[in-house]
A and B are shown apart, each in its own frame.
Chain A
Amino acid sequence: MATAKSAKFDIKSYTGFKAITMLCLFVLYAPLVVVTIYSFNSSVSLTNWEGVSFRWYVDVFTGPESGKFKAAALNSLIIAISAATMATAIATLAATGMVRGGKFKLRAVSFGLISLPLMVPEIVTAVATLIFFNAISFERGIMTILLAHTAFCIPFAYLPISARMQGIEDSYEQAAMDLYANKRQAFTKILMPLMMPGIISGFILAFIVSLDDFIITNFVKGAGVETLPTAIFGSVKQGIKPNIMAISTMLLGVSILMVTISYFVSKADNTK
Chain B
Amino acid sequence: MAAGAASGGSATTDTYKEVRTWLLLPAWVTLAILVLAPVFMMLIYSFLTKEFRGGVIWEFSLAAYDQFFFDRGLFGDDPAKIEWTYILIFWRSIWQAGAATILSLAIGFPTAYFIATRPEKSRALWVFLITIPYWVNLLIRTVSMKFLLRDQGPLNDFLINIGLIDSPIHIVNTNFAVQLGLFYSYLPFMVLPIYAAVERYNFSLSEAAADLYASKATTLRRILLPTVKPGVIAGCILVFVPSMGSFLAPDLLGGAKNFMIGSLIEEQFKGNAGNWPFGAAASMVLMTMVLILLMFYARQQARSEKAGG
Question: Are A and B genuine complex partners?
Answer: yes
Residues of chain B contacted by A263 (CB below 8 angstroms): 128
Flag whether A78 is at the interface (Cβ < 8 A). Answer: no
Smallest CB separation, A188 vs chain B (Å): 12
Smallest CB separation, A197 vs chain B (Å): 15
B107 touches A23 (CB 8 A): yes
Smallest CB separation, A30 vs chain B (Å): 6
Flag whether B231 is at the interface (Cβ < 8 A). Answer: no
* A10-32 near B? 1/0 per residue, CB < 8 Å: 01111011101101110111111
Pick the contact of A31: B128, B130, B147 (CB < 8 A).
Answer: B147
Pick the contact of B16: A23, A97, A107, A248 (CB < 8 A).
Answer: A97
| B129 to A, closest residue via Cβ | A25
Flag whether A229 is at the interface (Cβ < 8 A). Answer: yes
Smallest CB separation, B273 vs chain A (Å): 13
* B29-49 near A? 1/0 per residue, CB < 8 Å: 011101111110110010000
Q: Which of A180-214 contact B (CB under 8 A)?
A: 183, 186-187, 208, 211-212, 214
Smallest CB separation, A3 vs chain B (Å): 14
Say whether, besides A32-B144, A219-B270, A94 and B24 are in contact (CB < 8 Å).
yes
A-B contact count (CB 8 A): 298
Smallest CB separation, A189 vs chain B (Å): 14
A170 touches B12 (CB 8 A): yes
In the bound complex, CA of A121 to CA of B27 (Å): 20
B14 touches A120 (CB 8 A): no
Q: For the complex, count residues of B whose C-beta is within 8 A of A.
A: 100
Say whether, besides A24-B187, A47-B152, A131 and B107 are in contact (CB < 8 Å).
no
Q: Which of A82-136 contact B (CB under 8 A)?
A: 89-91, 93-94, 96-104, 106-108, 110-111, 113-117, 119-125, 127-132, 134-135
Q: Say what secondary structure dominates the interface of chain A.
A: helix
Flag whether B287 is at the interface (Cβ < 8 A). Answer: yes
User: What are 27 A-B residue pairs whose CB atoms fall within 8 Å in the complex?
Assistant: A20-B110, A24-B111, A24-B130, A47-B150, A47-B153, A97-B20, A100-B12, A101-B17, A102-B14, A113-B32, A119-B290, A120-B287, A120-B290, A121-B241, A125-B35, A127-B279, A129-B38, A148-B34, A154-B30, A163-B9, A166-B12, A169-B12, A208-B135, A212-B136, A214-B139, A229-B139, A255-B136
